[in-house]
Amino acid sequence: MRARAPGSAGCERRAASGEPQAAGGKRRAAGGGRRAAGGKDWEIPVPRRYRAPVTTQVIVLNGGSSSGKTGIARCLQAVLPDPWPVLGVDTLIETMPASLQSSDTGLLVTPDGGVSVGPEFRALEAAWRAGVAAMVRAGARVVVDEVFLGGAASQQRWREALAGLDVLWVGVRCESAVAAGRELARGDRVVGMAAEQAEPVHRGVVYDMEVVTTHTEALVCARAIAERVG
């Protein structure tokens, strides 16, 4: 079992109780928040649970390794109404044959944390994206936990797969040094991957909103995202 991202533990309990949390990162979403003393951070209103009718069908979280996406995804499941399955690129990788998890034709992680993908992985990834889209079109609402290794090109592939669906695109950012520290604590990633991915995964990507997890708990980020779910 992989370790939970920092800040994710106990989000179900806090979401149920409506316990207030102070936001430690900037929030781009318009409305709903007010600037805290000092003019740097945002205080986010904390409803007990979100009961308004939901039209958003997919929430795509994009960020580098150890940026906190998985913790946010779990907390979204706790605060949003209705079941929202979480499907991520790790879900795909874990189902792949071992031979494709360390090969030039599949997925190859270099000793310094770099990741390269080959044609066989690309083919499976395309089929997986189509499967996620089919699941949504069949009536499910889904949180996608992704790492856009190709930046804008990766987003475009998802845009094509999710064409016609109501998607909320969310950038999950974290300072490289903080993500690297989380990476060491997790112990299930190649050292260097967090720093390698921190900025490139966001290049050219267009978001509806962004959250910064450097000093902000996953639950606070999840509540900010939930406020944007229409």
User: What burial class does residue 69 get, using C-beta atoms within 10 Å of its C-beta: 0-12 exposed, 13-18 middle, 19+ buried?
Assistant: buried
Cα-only R_g, the chain: 17
Cβ atoms of 159 and 146 within 8 Å: the answer is: no
Active-site choice (41, 90, 104, 208): 90
Is 104 noted as a catalytic residue in this protein? no
* Count of positions (residues) in the chain: 230
62 DSSP assignment: E
Q: How far apart are CA 12 and CA 210, in angstroms?
A: 22
Catalytic residues: 90
